[in-house]
Structure 1
Amino acid sequence: MRIQPAQAARRAGWALGQAAYLLGFWGESTACNLARGARRVWNGAAARGRAFSARFLHPVWEGLVGVGRDLAAPFVRFAHGMRSIHAYVQEEKQARGTPRALAGGLLYFHRGVRLYGYLAVRAGRYIMPLLALGLFVFTVRHTLNRSFSLAVEVNGELVGYVQSEDVLEAAKNTLQQNIVSLDRSSQWQITADYTLAVDPEELLDQETLARTLLEMSHSEIQPGAAVYVDGELVLVSDDASGLRQALEALKTTAADAAGEGSEAEFIRDVELQEGIYFTSDISDETAVQEALSNTDLFGLRTVRRAVEIREIPYETVTTRSEDYRWGSVQTVQAGQAGSAQVTVDYITENGVTTEEIVESVTLTEPVTEQIVIGSRMPAGSLVEVPGYGTLLWPVPNYKYVSRWMSAGHTGADICANAGQDILAAADGRVITAGWHYSYGNYIIIDHGNGLRTLYAHCSKLYVSYGQYVSQGDVIGAVGNTGNSFGNHCHFELYVGGVRVSARNYFPNM
C-alpha cells in the first residue's frame, strides 16, 4: 500500500512527540531520585554530626565551661563580697562610727574567706600547672640564652676561657711542635685545671691561648732564634728580630767598606732558625756579641759591580815570505786596539780580590797587526853534499865570514847581529847542548853516517840533548859567549867523521 506524504509527516511528528515525552519523563525521574539521595546523605551526615557532637564535643565544651566557671567563681564571689562589705561598712559608719565600721568590715571579710576559700583552691588547681608550665618555659629559654665555657687555670692562675678542652690541647700541641730542644732529654709539660664558667667575657682561640701559655712559661721556654753556620749551631738568642738585624748589619758594613755599589754576602751557609727554645739554652748577651763580632766565623764576600771602558788588544798575524831577506820583519798593517764597555764584578774574599766579567759590549773592533818575516835565503845557502844530501847555511841573515877553517882555526866564524837565528844545517839528533869554556853555549847535531855540525858562542839555546830537529829549524841565537870577541856563530862541519872546511861547500858565502 502506498503511503501518502501527509500521512508520513503525521507519523514522524507522532514519533518525535513520543521521544520528547520519554526523555522528559526520564529526566524528571532522575532529578527526583538525585534529590531524594542527597537528602538522605545530608540527613545521615547531620545525624552523625549530632552524635559526634553529643559524644565528644559536648563533654569537651561542658568541661571548658566548668573550668571557666571554676576559674571565674573566686573572682565573682570576691567581687560580690567586696560590694557587700562596702555597703556594710557604709551603713555601720553612719550608725556606729568609722572604727566599728572598719572592724565589722574586716570580720565580714574573714567570714567570707572561711566560707568561700575553697573556690580559690579549686581555681588554683587549674592555675598552678599553668604557672609551673610558664616557669618551666621561662627557665628553659633563659638557660638556653646563657653561654657556658671552661675556665682554664695553670698553677692556680687563671689563663682564660675556652670553648672546650680541645682548644687547650691544640694550643699545647702547637707549642710542643715549635719547641727546638738542643738537649734531647729536655721536655716541657703543663697541667691545667678546668671549672665551668657562665657568660665569660671573652673566649680564647688556639693561637691566643698558645701565646698566653708561652708567656706564662717564660721561665722554662721562650721564643728565640738560633744561628747555624754550615749546619753547626753557633748561638741562640731570645731576640730573633735583633739577631736578624745584626747579621744584616755585618753584610751592610762590609759592603760599605768595599765601596759604593757593593753588595756583601756570607761565604758560609748561615741559617737563622726561629722557634721556641728552652730558657737554659739561650746564650747570654756577651756570648752573642762575641760571636757576631767574629766575621771570620761567617766568612764575608763583597761584590762591587762596575762598568768600565776597556781596551781590546789586537791580534798579530805573522807570515813568511821569500819576497824579503831571511829574518827581516815587515809590518804590512799596523795593529790597533779596540774598545769595549765591560760590566765587571770585583769579588773580594779573605782579602783577595778577583774579577768576573758579567757582560762585554764591543764599541770598536780591533785591527789585526800583519807582519811578514823574510824567508829568502842568500844565494848559495843550500848545497849538495855527495852521499849525504843537502846542507843549509846556518845563519841566513849574516853579515860576513870573518875567517874560515885554517891550521889554527877549526871552523868558520859567521858574523851577525846578536840574537839572529841559527838554523839546523840538516835533519838530525842533538847530541850536545850546553856550555864549553871555549865554545860558550854550543850545540852539536849528528846527522848520521858521520855527518855532524857544531854551532858555538850562542847567546841562547832553543834545543836540548836528545831532541830531533829538521833542516831549517831554529836551534839557537847568535851571541858572544865563551872565548869570543864579537857576536858570531862558530860553525864546524864533519863529513865522514872528519872535520872539513865549510868553505868547500859554501865557496860563495
Structure 2
Amino acid sequence: MDGLRCKLTVHAWRRRTKKARRHHSFRQVLARIPHANLIGDALYMIGFWVEYAVVCAVRGTYKVASTIGMNAARLLVTIIRPFALGIITLCEDIVEPFQVVGSGIRHFRAISDELSDESAHTIRKEKLRYFAHAARQFLPLLLNALSYIMPVAAAAGFLYVVQSGLNQNFVLNVQVNGTSVGTVASEQVFESAREDVRSRITNAEAVMASTGAQVSDDSWDVTPTYTLESGSSTMTETEAADAILCASSDQIGEATAVYVDDSLRFVTTEGDHLRTYLESIKAPYVNAMDQNKRVSFVHDIKLVDGIYLLSSILDYNNVISTLNQGGGPTYYTAAAGDTVQTVVDNTGVSWDTLAALNPDLTGTDEVLDEGTAVMTGVSHPDMLQIKEVVRSTYTEPIPFDTQTSESDEYDFGKTVVVQEGADGTEEITRETTYIDGVESSSEVVNYKVLQNPTTQLIVKGTKLASGMVARIGSGTFVWPVPNYTYVSRWMSSYHKGADICAAYGTPIIASDSGKVVTAGWHYSYGNYVIIDHGNGYRTLYAHMSQLKCTAGQAVNQGDVIGLVGSTGDSTGNHCHFEMYYNGARFSAQTYFGGMRASR
C-alpha cells in the first residue's frame, strides 16, 4: 500500500514538473516577443472591455425584457379583469336566487321545530309571515337572474326555429283552375310537366286538323299554377302531366304515346300490342348468348304510358302503317364493265348474301350487262331501321422503333446491333355498326397495351483507318455543283449519271457526309471521287480537273472534294454525278428534278 502511494506521489510530482517546464518555456517565448508587456496590457484591456460590454448588454436586455413583461402582464390583467369580474358577477347573479331559495326552504322547515310548543294556528301564521317576507326579498333577485336568462333563451329559441325551417322540406303544390292536383319537387319538374302537357295538346290538335276537324286556338286552354308549401311526397314529371290533364278536361283517357327521337309522333290505346310488334322486328337480330352485340332501332323509339287527350289517339292500324312507310329492297345498278365482284367491292355486301338474294348470279367473275339491277338487301322502313353494334376484340403487333447512333469505336461502314428490337402487342376493341345488315361505320373504342415493344439499338461506326472520324450521311443530299443547275443529260439506258455543266475550276462539293473510298484516275471517269455515306448510299463525282481529297478521308456535307474539268472520256467541262443505294444505281433526278435539262 505504501509503495502504491509512493508511485502516485512520484507520478504527480512529474506532472507538476512538466507543467512548470511548459509554463517556463512559454514565458521565455513571450519574453522574446518585442514589446511583449505592451501587447499583454493591450490584450488585457481588450478582454476587460469586451467582458464589461457583454455584461452591460445582458443586464440591459434583462431590464428591458423585465419591463416589457411587467407592462404586458399589467395590460393583460387590465383587459382580462373586467371580463373575469363580469363572468363572476353573472354567475353570482344567476346562482344567488337558487341559494336564497334553498336557504329559505331550510328556515321554513325549521319554524315548526322552533315553535314546537305553540299551537298549530300560531305555527301556520308564522310560516305565512315568513313566506311573505321571503317573497319580497326573493323577487328582485329573480328578476335580476331573468335579465340574463331570458336573452339566452330567446337566442336559443331563434336558432331552433331557423334550424327547423332549414330542415323542413318545401314542395310546389300544382293547381289547375284553383284545384290542387298534387305536388312536385321543384320548379324544373313543374316546367317540364307543363311542356309535356303542351306537347300532348299540340299533337292532339295536329291529329284533329289532319282529320278535317275545326280546331280553335283555345280548344284546351290549360294554365297550371303552383304555390309553395311544406310536404314530402311528390309526383314525377309524367305523373304531374297526367294529373294536370285529368283536372283540365274530361276528354282524356289512358293511352300510350310513341316518341321518335324525343318527338311525340303518335298516341294509341294499343301500347302492349305495339311493344310486342316492335320487339318482333328486332327478334331476328337478337342473340341473348352474344354479349358483344347490341340491337336497337336507328331512331330512338320510346313508348310512354300515361293520360292523353282522347282526340289525339290514333287507330292502331294507322300507327303501324305510318311506322312502316318507306323501306323495301335495295338495288345496285351495274355500269359498263362491272362484274359481281365490283358489286361486292362497292356495296360491302358479301358474295353469299348476293347469291341468296339473286339466284341467277353464277359467280364473282360474272360480267354484268350495263343497267342490270342487282338486289343488295332489304331495308326496313325509315322509322324501323335496325342498328346492330358488334364489339370485337383482337390483338395486333406494335412495331418497334429503331434508334441509330454513331461511334468511333467501330470502323466506318460497320453496323452493330447492340439490342435486338421486338414488336409489342396491343389489344384492340372495335365496335362495328350495321344498318339493316350493311356496315355503316367502324371505330376503335379502346386500346390496351399487353406488351411494350423493345427498341432496336443500332450503332454505326465512324472510325477511319487514318484515325479520322467520319460522319454518317443524313440521307438528305445537296447539289454537288452549287449555282450551276444546267444538266445536259440525266441518267438513261445509255448514260450512267447526270452531267452538270459548269465552268472549268468550279468547286465540286460532297453531296452528303461520309468517307472517301476512292479518289484517283479512271480511263473513262478521269479524276473521280466515290464517297460512302455509311447509310447504304454512295455518290460518284467524275471528270475533275483536280482532286481536293484523298481515299480514306472523312468529309462533311458541303466540303470541297475537287474542281470541275474535262478529264477522261469527256468532251467539255462538266461534273458527271452518279448516285447508288445498296449497290443499285438510280437517277439523281429523283432528288433534283427541278434542275434544267436543256438550255
Q: Pick the TM interval, shorter chain.
A: 0.3 to 0.5
- TM-score by length of structure 1 reads 0.44
Question: Which is strand-richer, 1 or 2?
Answer: 1
Which one has a bigger Cα radius of gyration? 1
- TM-score by length of structure 2 reads 0.38
